[in-house]
A and B are shown apart, each in its own frame.
Chain A
Amino acid sequence: MNGRVRRQLTPYLFLSPSLAVVAIFGFYPIAFAFYMSFHHWKILGQPDFVGLKNFLDIAVKDEFLVALRNTFLYSIITVPAGVVLALGSAVLLNQRLRGRSFFRGVIFFPVTISMVVIALIWSWMFSENYGIMNVVLPGLGIEPRAWLADPKTALAVIMIMSVWKGFGYGMVIYLAGLQTIPGTLYEAARIDGATPWQRFFHVTLPLLNPTTLFVTVISFIGSFQVFDQVYVMTEGGPGYSTTVLVHYIYNLAYVRFQMGKACAAALLLFLIVLIFTLLQLKFIRPQTEETA
């Protein structure tokens, strides 16, 4: 092999191990999921082509619709709550303060911890008989109850826990975004006599639009994929009150072994996330371009 040929092969050699892994566990499964979603298959035997039947079957099932509704509810509450808390804490922690990195670390710490462990702690805090919440909350006039076994409160506890665990992630991104705002803008605003609130709403917030877009889209995508905490805290119950989409897919695939339907449901999930992401990009972007 002469030098030139070897030189041309070199990049492919460097890439080949990665490409082999990505081909098997990245590209192929996407194609296969498409294929399977049009077939009926219970793992054993040959898959039968059924056209759009899987999608239609799922779309009319109450269970799917309930899972969709719960996921949506989870999403429209946890995403804005997380974004507001992330922005608020980032603005507070962008000032020169003693103990600033301590507070940043404390808020970010739960992001790095296993969701299983976090969900177990919260289950215990909210447990009916011995949990601390049924000791503390009655002092604030809230009746003790079986928080996670009550269809009225189970999803709410999961949502509060998830916001608590995750908003440090948004805060870190906002802190990076705040670094890009030139200090001279604040000085100009101050000379013009703007109050701190005016500076926040007329300087900080508009200039952070791209960051807000990013944090919102990423949180939204994450919120539609919620699973671990639901599986640990309630297993989708009581009834179907906390069943979310990924939990529904998990049950289809690994409890009922309906692989075709599970793939169809996963693709529907992907489609929903994709559509909402594109909508967010479309509606938030023009604003950011105006201000930039």
Chain B
Amino acid sequence: MKVPTYLALICVALVMLFPFFYMFATACKDDAQLARSELLPEGRWHFENFAIAWQKEPFTRFLVNSTGVALATVTLTLLLASMGGFALAKYQFRGRKWIFVGLLATMMVPSQVTMIPNFLTCSRFFLLDSYAGLVLPVLPLAFGIFLMRQFIGSIPNTLMEAARIDGAGDFRIYAQMILPLCQPALVTLGIFTFMASWNNFLWPLIVLDTPGKYTLPVGILRFAQQYDIQYNYLMAVSLLSILPIAVLFLSFQRSFVQGVTVTGLSDR
């Protein structure tokens, strides 16, 4: 059984890795090598293409934008979702059930339905072409609150009661006891949110107008849509743009997998 299994797995791995390898090989070609459609550049590998391509458009600017937007999205999501999840998990109050059901209901509606009204809301409140407009409408709060509620629910109440007897207020219990205990859930939610924000395409495409505000996916696509696009430079820039996610993936593979397993709602 072992040999056929390995053969199958190696074939699959080659198919999965080939496009990335081809992207790298393409990025290292000059025009003549591109025109010969060879797999590997014959002669010299042009590693300098990465530096040249990066200068073709303000990609550093796009990188800063993508990073800023992703970090803001992650920070806001972690903060708001942990607060909301804490309230729903550890307090009895009027409307608790309805708030929870209402939040879950928003997860069922596809983003295409809310996209157009949100676009109009953003235009009314001057959020178009702004970072706030890029972040606020796509915060994955319903999912985040759901995840945090499940996790915080498993923290024993006795811990909270003990802290309360010691004179800790509600906010101190949240900030100094619940948050540190939630670290695994926060990492999972944070990585999932970062990935979703970094890769988000349709919403930034709709909201953004000024090239200086583009995030990487939009900037790369606009670069690709130029009339005389050079594929070696396009592949070089694309490869650089996926490096942050690749590094994150290699360091936190487990959290990525967990994030995806608990969501059931990826790809938005």
**Residues of chain A at the chain B interface (Cβ within 8 Å):** 7-8, 10-12, 14-15, 17-19, 21-22, 24-30, 32-33, 36, 43, 89, 92-93, 95, 97, 99, 101-103, 105-118, 120-122, 124-125, 127, 129-132, 134-135, 164, 166, 169, 172-173, 176, 196, 214, 218, 221-222, 224-225, 227-228, 231-232, 246, 249-250, 253-254, 259, 262-263, 266-267, 269-270, 273-274
Contact = CB atoms under 8 A, between A and B. Distances in A.
A24 B117 CA distance: 10
Contact of A22 (B23, B35, B39, B141): B141
Contact of A114 (B199, B234, B261): B199
Interface string B232-250: 0011001001100110011
Given A134-B37, A232-B221, A22 B116 contact: no
Interface in B15-38: 15-17, 19-20, 22-23, 26, 34-35, 37-38
B185 interface: no
Interface residues of B, number: 88
Contacts of B235: 120-121, 124
B177 interface: no
B141 A176 contact: no
A103 to B, nearest CB: 5
Contacts of A113: 199, 242, 245-246
A118 B9 contact: no
28 contacts: A14-B170, A15-B87, A18-B141, A18-B145, A19-B84, A22-B103, A26-B114, A28-B117, A29-B121, A30-B113, A33-B114, A97-B6, A103-B13, A112-B195, A112-B249, A115-B267, A116-B221, A121-B238, A125-B22, A132-B22, A132-B37, A132-B39, A172-B260, A176-B261, A225-B111, A246-B112, A253-B115, A266-B112
Nearest to B145: A18
B113 A270 contact: yes
A111 B242 CA distance: 12
